[in-house]
């Protein structure tokens, strides 16, 4: 089944304790992205990757890191989480980042609900 998976789905942690949220897709998509969703603010892009070894900042990259060593994986790293990073996080992927509209459709993972105390 074509899908985007994220782990963990739920995480409660404490300030300053490094964590990684994994994201994996099995559709051979070039483009992957991380978003956070907060009430009243909608979905905001954190980082994105056009392809392997190519990553760039989105709208709210502060406090986050990413890597894209393999096409299928795009982990999100919080080196020193803080309470303002408490949020619902989504990973997404699409076939490409340009060209036909149909190729830009983003498929989302199920989300990771993170609470930082």
Partner 1 sequence: RKEVEQDPGPFNVPEGATVAFNCTYSNSASQSFFWYRQDCRKEPKLLMSVYSSGNEDGRFTAQLNRASQYISLLIRDSKLSDSATYLCVVNSASGGSNYKLTFGKGTLLTVNP
User: Which residues are at the interface with partner 1 (CB under 8 A)?
Assistant: 31, 33, 35, 40-45, 48, 50, 58, 88, 90, 97-98, 101-102, 104-111
Between 41 and 117, CB nearer to partner 1 = 41
- Residue placing its CB nearer to partner 1 in the complex, 53 or 105: 105
Q: How far apart are the C-alpha atoms of 92 and 57, rounded to whole Å?
A: 15
**Smallest separation, CB 90 to partner 1 (Å):** 6
Least distance (Å) between residue 110 CB and partner 1 = 6
């Amino acid at each position: 089944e074509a899908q985007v998976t994220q782990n963990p789905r739920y995480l409660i942690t404490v300030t300053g304790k490094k964590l990684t949220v994994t994201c994996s897709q099995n559709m051979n998509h070039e483009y992957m992205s991380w978003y956070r969703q907060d009430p009243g603010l909608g979905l905001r892009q954190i980082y994105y990757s056009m392809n392997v070894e190519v990553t760039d900042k989105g709208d709210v990259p502060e406090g986050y890191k990413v890597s894209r060593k393999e096409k299928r994986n795009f982990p999100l790293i919080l080196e020193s989480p803080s309470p303002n990073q408490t949020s619902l996080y989504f990973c997404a992927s699409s076939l490409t980042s340009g060209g036909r509209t149909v190729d830009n459709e983003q498929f989302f993972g199920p989300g990771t609900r993170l609470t930082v105390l």
